[in-house]
Amino acid sequence: MTKKYRYKEIEYERRGQFDRDLNEDHRTFDARDIGGGYRYLPKTFGERLRRLFLVPAIAVFGAIYLRFAFGFCVKGKKNLRALKGGAVSVCNHVHMMDTLMVKLALGGFRTFHTGSYYLLKRGWAGRIFKSGGFLPVGETVKDLENLQSAIGSLMQKGKIVNFYPEHALWYRYEKVRPFKPGAFRYAVRFGVPVLPLFIEFKETKLRRLLHMEKKVILHILPAVMPPAEGSERARAQALCGRVRAAMIEKYEDVYCRQMVFATESAPPAAETKEAASA
């Protein structure tokens, strides 16, 4: 992370702007249109064939890359085995490769991933994303209706749909930011559990000796079922609170400190000078 983005992270935390992107220059170029007759799920022979070859390739080469580049490993796989049907998973959005990490941890063919619509490009890039299980989140009511229909179909097939409820990517940020409610509303609507995933960054003697960044550990926490009573909105809010509390507990357990956000205040002079020179 550059000094510029580190300064923004500190500033946004103080202001409580946890869903604000550190890099606001969104990559909207060449985005594929998801309106009209866009199919969220691979259905044609060509789409299914690409998925058949792509997912195993991701599992093999992705695992090798993550292991050597980031020391990536997964803990808590027994909690994944306890799932008997479809589920929503949520993960803290703290790494550029976290979607690949989630896919490898939960199973390539079982896991689908939501993300901003502009990440889906035209041409082969878009086809590869879709074959890998990418579900674009659009901006219109029709887009959201189509997305909900796709998620419902996946839940019936026992799949897992992953969300990043913090919304914005803050690279290697350790705390658990506030959540958006969308993922939890889908869980309540379809009557499926939420599987919390927590990414930890751990320093090791070897990586410190080699001047490498901290290793990445993905923790699979026990699934949380939606409350049985109340309105959909109230149940989603309660579910969101329980899941975030579980992830905060994991944060405090692995980092051995209480999770406290910085209060809103003016940045120290040293930080201001550093940001100006970045």
- Residue 162 in domain: yes
Window from 107-111, 113-117, 244-248 with minimum mean pLDDT: 113-117
Do residue 103 and residue 179 come from a single domain? yes
Do 9 and 112 share a domain, yes or no?
A: no
Asked if residue 22 is part of any domain, the answer here is no
CATH number at residue 99: 3.40.1130
Mean pLDDT of all residues in the chain? 90
pLDDT at 122: 82
Query: Is 21 a domain residue?
Result: no
Q: Are 98 and 199 in contact (CB under 8 A)?
A: yes
Does residue 82 lie within any of the structural domains? Answer: yes
* pLDDT tens digits for range 8-31: 899 999 999 999 988 766 566 677
120-129, 140-149, 237-246, range with the lowest pLDDT: 120-129
In this structure, the answer to whether residues 150 and 113 fall within a common structural domain is yes
Residues 155 and 231 in one domain: yes
| pLDDT for residue 276 is more than 70 | no
- Residue 178: Cβ within 10 Å count: 13
Boundaries of domain holding 269: 1-16+261-278
Q: Are residues 270 and 178 in the same domain?
A: no
- The most distant pair of C-alpha atoms in the chain lies apart, rounded to whole Å, by 60
Q: What share of the chain is helix, strand, coil (3-state, %, to 5)?
A: 45, 15, 40
Indicate if 153 and 249 belong to the same structural domain: yes
Residues 234 and 275 in one domain: no
Of 198, 204, 201, which is closest to residue 216 (Cα–Cα)? Answer: 201
Same domain for 92 and 3: no
Q: What is the mean pLDDT of residues 233-249?
A: 98
Answer whether residue 274 is part of any domain. Answer: yes
Give the pLDDT score at 1: 56
**Number of structural domains the chain divides into:** 2
Quick check: 270 pLDDT over 50? no
- 194 and 94, same domain (yes or no): yes
Mean pLDDT of 262-276: 50
- Please tell me whether residues 265 and 194 are part of one structural domain: no
Confidence check: pLDDT of 85 > 90 = yes
Domain contains 223: yes
Residues 128 and 9 in one domain: no
Rounded Cα distance between 198 and 30, Å, is 32
188 band by pLDDT with thresholds 50, 70 and 90: very high
pLDDT at 264: 58
Q: Mean pLDDT across the stretch 98-123?
A: 92
Q: Where residue 119 falls among pLDDT bands split at 50, 70, 90?
A: confident
Of the chain, the percentage scoring pLDDT greater than 70 comes to: 91
Q: What are phi and psi of 276, to 5 degrees?
A: -65, -30
**Region 111-116: what's the mean pLDDT?**
94
Q: What is the per-residue pLDDT for 241?
A: 98
Residue 271 lies in a domain: yes
When mean pLDDT is compared across 96-105, 145-154, 185-194, 263-272, the lowest value belongs to: 263-272
Rounded (10°) angle between helices 98-106 and 63-70: 120
Please check whether residue 277 lies inside any domain of the structure: yes
Same domain membership, residue 193 and residue 175: yes
Q: What is the mean pLDDT of residues 70-82?
A: 95
Helix axes 269-277, 3-15, angle to 10 degrees: 140
